[in-house]
């Protein structure tokens, strides 16, 4: 096997024998994992996919029919900048790290493993969805997301193999051994163990959970550990499509629901086979709250340490901040004390998770405004909303407490009484699942979702995106 040809890359793989050998050992295990845990039932189909064969404008998006197991999972870093420097923290301005700084070896490995773990996890969560696709266009998008999450795993495994020696190799193996939702060997983060077994879940997942990924990658793209920064910068290019799939996916469901509400005599989309707004809202509440947890605790000494060391910056650290040391400021956030919500002032560096979360919430609000416009354009008064960031949290200051969707502190009993109004019930999930019947004729679409406004790469909606 010629690894250099098998794995397109811009990291001089053919010159690095040690790395080549490590990846040669890992590749067959990866392919075995893909066959076992990748999309079920479509491995031998031709899919119109984008493949990155380089990082420049021509190279990064080559569109053609590919069978997924033949996809060329490459290793790409954004080109190095001359004279790169650590861009923030206590080491601000010194030359960027080309090797892992010794004292942060363990925590950096943990960051990379945690990020890496999410990539195969999402492929596992989504592996049955192809069977109930609402259109060939959506089926293709699902597979595009899946193969690129596979490539993102490669991106993290490259760092583990290339920079962490023996224990990096062990971690790379373990990434193929954990399984989403498996009680004995679960994936690391909880959102990645939740079932994603219908397309509304998939669109919410790519909208909210993948979007957490965008903010984590953006913070790491600022890293003073240069190989990590350059890897994440290129991953973000691909990630944009995943977020597009999620945001437009939920948007198209909302649009179709609005149409059906107008058409039906009782104003309920369900009577015409659509998904009702209250179910969409509950799915949003579920995925938004789980995805907020992924940012970590509101008050975090880890975030302070990573920032101080120049390893994990703020969102758009170089672009939107003038001062990069952030050693002095404070940040005020709400905490629970004696069963009351009270403000607490903490050193700015300890609040960086919360600050990153705030950037994410703004982005989610932007999408929400767009979806609500579909409802208003249809002449409907009803609106969707984001629940309070305190609602239904399992990590950080609010874990172990109960809040309503407005963020008011309530008792466990009050929460349980309203749970079925706020979060998807078994009956809601079963109803959504009952609508999931495959539509695979080119140009056709399921009744519960509106068609997209444009196809992929200038192709029409009725293009044969997957040859079945």
CA distance 170 to 318: 34
Reading the block at residue 284, the tokens are 């949003």
User: Candidates 9-17, 116-124, 192-200, 276-284 — which segment interacts with Fe ion by CB under 5 A?
Assistant: 116-124
Size of the chain, expressed as the number of residues it contains? 468
CA distance 422 to 416: 10
78: contact with Fe ion by CB under 5 A: no
Q: How many CA atoms lie within 13 A of 466 on its CB side?
A: 25
CA distance 14 to 185: 35
User: Candidates 16-24, 112-120, 376-384, 413-421 — which segment interacts with Fe ion by CB under 5 A?
Assistant: 112-120
Which of 78, 241, 242, 324 lies at the binding interface for Fe ion (CB under 5 A)? 242
Q: Are 457 and 282 in contact (CB under 8 A)?
A: no
Please say which residue, 125 or 257, places its beta carbon nearer to Fe ion: 125
Helix or strand or coil: residue 333?
strand
Please say which residue, 214 or 357, places its beta carbon nearer to Fe ion: 214
Which of 50, 140, 151, 152 lies at the binding interface for Fe ion (CB under 5 A)? 152
Strand 330-337, strand 62-67: pairing: unpaired
User: Candidates 30-38, 233-241, 271-279, 418-426 — which segment interacts with Fe ion by CB under 5 A?
Assistant: 233-241
397: contact with Fe ion by CB under 5 A: no
CB of 149: closest distance to Fe ion in angstroms?
Answer: 5
Please say which residue, 119 or 428, places its beta carbon nearer to Fe ion: 119
Please say which residue, 171 or 210, places its beta carbon nearer to Fe ion: 210
Please say which residue, 124 or 149, places its beta carbon nearer to Fe ion: 149
CA distance 175 to 157: 9
# residues near Fe ion by CB under 5 A: 6
151: contact with Fe ion by CB under 5 A: no
Return the bridge partners of 49, or none: 64
Please say which residue, 149 or 247, places its beta carbon nearer to Fe ion: 149
Q: How many CA atoms lie within 13 A of 467 on its CB side?
A: 11
Please say which residue, 118 or 353, places its beta carbon nearer to Fe ion: 118
What SS3 string covers 62-106?
EEEEEEHHHCCCCECCCCCCCCCECCCCCCCCCECECCCCHHHHH
User: Candidates 114-122, 161-169, 298-306, 368-376 — which segment interacts with Fe ion by CB under 5 A?
Assistant: 114-122
Name the H helices within 294-425: 301-308, 317-320, 352-377, 412-422
Strand 409-410, strand 46-51: pairing: unpaired
CB of 242: closest distance to Fe ion in angstroms?
Answer: 4
User: Candidates 16-24, 43-51, 148-156, 317-325 — which segment interacts with Fe ion by CB under 5 A?
Assistant: 148-156
Site string for Fe ion, 118-137 (x = CB under 5 A): -x------------------
Reading the block at residue 132, the tokens are 């109930």
Reading the block at residue 41, the tokens are 């039932």
CB of 206: closest distance to Fe ion in angstroms?
Answer: 7
CB of 50: closest distance to Fe ion in angstroms?
Answer: 13
Which of 210, 212, 222, 397 lies at the binding interface for Fe ion (CB under 5 A)? 210
Tell how far CA 283 is from the center of its chain. 16
Contact footprint for Fe ion (CB under 5 A): 119, 149, 152, 210, 239, 242
């Amino acid at each position: 096997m010629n690894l250099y040809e098998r794995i397109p890359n811009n990291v001089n793989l053919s010159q690095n024998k040690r790395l080549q050998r490590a990846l040669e050992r890992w590749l067959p295990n990866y392919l075995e994992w893909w066959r076992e845990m990748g999309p079920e039932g479509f491995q031998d189909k031709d899919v119109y996919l984008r493949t990155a064969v380089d990082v420049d404008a021509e190279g990064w998006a080559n569109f053609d029919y590919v069978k997924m197991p033949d996809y060329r999972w490459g290793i790409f870093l954004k080109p190095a900048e001359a004279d790169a420097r650590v861009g923030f923290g206590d080491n601000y301005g010194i030359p960027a790290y080309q090797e892992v700084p010794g004292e942060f070896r363990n925590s950096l490995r943990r960051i990379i493993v945690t990020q890496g773990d999410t990539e195969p996890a999402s492929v596992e969560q989504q592996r049955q969805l192809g069977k109930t696709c609402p259109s060939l266009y959506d089926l293709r998008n699902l597979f595009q997301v899946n193969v690129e999450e596979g490539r993102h795993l490669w991106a993290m495994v490259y760092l583990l193999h290339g920079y962490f020696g023996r224990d990096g190799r062990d971690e790379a193996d373990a990434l193929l051994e954990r399984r989403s939702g498996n009680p004995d060997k679960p994936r690391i983060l909880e959102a990645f163990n939740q079932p994603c077994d219908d397309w509304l879940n998939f669109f919410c997942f790519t909208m909210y959970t993948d979007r957490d990924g965008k903010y984590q990658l953006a913070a790491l793209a600022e890293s003073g550990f240069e190989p990590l920064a350059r890897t994440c910068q290129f991953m973000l290019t691909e990630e944009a499509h995943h977020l597009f799939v999620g945001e437009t996916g939920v948007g198209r469901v909302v649009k179709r629901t609005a149409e059906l509400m107008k058409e039906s005599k009782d104003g309920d989309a369900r009577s015409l086979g659509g998904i009702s707004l209250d179910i969409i809202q509950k799915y949003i509440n579920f995925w938004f709250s789980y995805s907020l947890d992924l940012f970590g605790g509101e008050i975090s000494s880890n975030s302070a340490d990573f920032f101080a060391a120049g390893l994990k910056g703020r969102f758009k650290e170089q672009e939107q901040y003038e001062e990069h040391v952030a050693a002095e400021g404070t940040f005020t956030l709400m905490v629970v004390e004696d069963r009351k919500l009270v403000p607490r002032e903490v050193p700015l560096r300890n609040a960086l998770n919360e600050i990153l979360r705030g950037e994410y919430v703004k982005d989610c609000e932007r999408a929400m405004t767009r979806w609500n416009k579909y409802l208003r354009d249809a002449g409907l008064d009803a609106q969707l909303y984001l629940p309070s960031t305190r609602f239904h949290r399992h990590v950080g200051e609010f874990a172990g407490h109960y809040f309503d969707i407005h963020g008011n502190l309530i008792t466990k009993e009050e929460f349980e009484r309203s749970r079925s109004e706020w979060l998807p019930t078994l009956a809601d999930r079963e109803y959504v699942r009952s609508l999931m019947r495959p539509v695979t004729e080119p140009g056709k679409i399921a009744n519960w979702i509106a068609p997209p406004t444009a196809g992929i790469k200038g192709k029409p909606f009725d293009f044969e995106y997957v040859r079945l």
